[in-house]
Amino acid sequence: MTEIHSATTGPVDAPPPGRLVVLRSRFPMVSRIAERIVLSVALLLASSILIFAGIELLPGDFAATYLGQAATPQAVANLRAEFGLDAPLVTRYFEWLVNIMHGDFGNSWASGQSVSGQIADRLGNSLLLAGAAAVLAVPIAVGLGLIAVLYRDRLIDRLINLFSLAAVSMPEFFVAYLLIMVFVVQHPVAAFPATVYDSMSLWEKLQTIILPVATLVLVVLAHMMRMTRAAIINVMSSAYMETAELKGIGALRAIIKHAAPNALAPIINVVAINLAYLIVGVVVVEVVFVYPGMGQYMVDAVTVRDLPVVQGCGLVFSAIYIFLNMIADVLSILVNPRLRHPR
């Protein structure tokens, strides 16, 4: 007789969650911020690879360009060996990356000067230019955006939209030359070229860079203002804004107290992107106004194929852009309860 054993199947215990899952559930905001930091570091590493490989793929040869008519095959080979260009591409990349981690961008092939020192000096000038433009552009853009929402579909809103469309449609070099024609040629009240020196005081530098600052303000002001207006109008259609209107709260108070705080996340992202543009995208403005910043330094290096300078400037620009976007993501998490406590 065969015994039939009835196996009783009880509930199977689920495996315990991993430490990472537990930490993410207990500290959601901290974990999201840590993810942004790790992602930013990964993006910076990927950017370094693209910058190094992209510059290496450019046509032409520095040794032949540098030697000019004296570029015999033997002289070119000797110069390439002197600068380490005869080593494999991967080897040169990792040597460059390790040196950068130690704060050494190498020496300029054209001048022999330290690239790190030159970048430090030029970056300070670019930050001064971008900072002065940001101090003016950000509050004006946010203020005009609030005014446009307050008087939506009225004459003031239409005038602000008309101005913003006109400003967006004009390229920065055109705005720069227009300001030069008006305030330098016709009415000489501003300095040109906008060259600053270490011996100048801060006030003298600010007086010298009025025109490039005005150019950058006009370029980024329209975009920030339009995005601020769009973000607040999107919030205005929410149910709680209708409730505030039914309770008799004034339009200005409702916008400032309820709409603007809930639109902070997209506004922060827009401001961060434009701040990154003010630092990274100033190449044309610096060249037009002969301003001794990072953009001018990079353009001069490109003309002579000075690879250490071009690679160093490109990596610094990339790091600034990624860092500002990371700060914007972190601030968006901090001001948005839905991002701080995701479901």
Q: What is the pLDDT of residue 338?
A: 63
What is the pLDDT, as a whole number, of residue 17?
53
The pLDDT score that the predictor gives to residue 1 is 45
Of the candidates 273, 260, 258, 268, the one whose C-alpha atom is nearest the C-alpha of residue 330 is 268
The whole-number pLDDT of residue 171 equals 81
pLDDT at 68: 66
Give the angle subtended at the CA of 283 by the CAs of 209 and 44, to the nearest 5°.
120
Structure confidence at residue 16 (pLDDT): 52
Burial annotation 78-94 (CB, 10 A radius, 16+ → b, else e): ebbeebebeeeeeebbe
Q: Look up the pTM and report it.
A: 0.76
Domain extent listing, the chain: 38-101, 115-340
According to the model, what pLDDT value does residue 14 have? 47
Contact indicator for 248, 167 with CB cutoff of 8 Å: no
Position 95 scores a pLDDT of 84
- Predicted confidence at residue 93, as pLDDT, reads 85
Q: How far apart are CA 151 and CA 247, in angstroms?
A: 20
pLDDT at 167: 78
151 DSSP assignment: T
Mean pLDDT per block of 10 residues along the chain (343 residues) reads: 48 52 63 82 89 77 67 73 75 85 81 83 86 86 81 82 80 85 84 81 85 87 81 72 68 68 73 79 83 84 81 87 83 68 56
Q: Which fold has domain 115-340?
A: MetI-like fold (1.10.3720)
In a 13 Å sphere around the CA of 31, the CA atoms on its Cβ side amount to 13
pLDDT recorded at residue 69 = 67
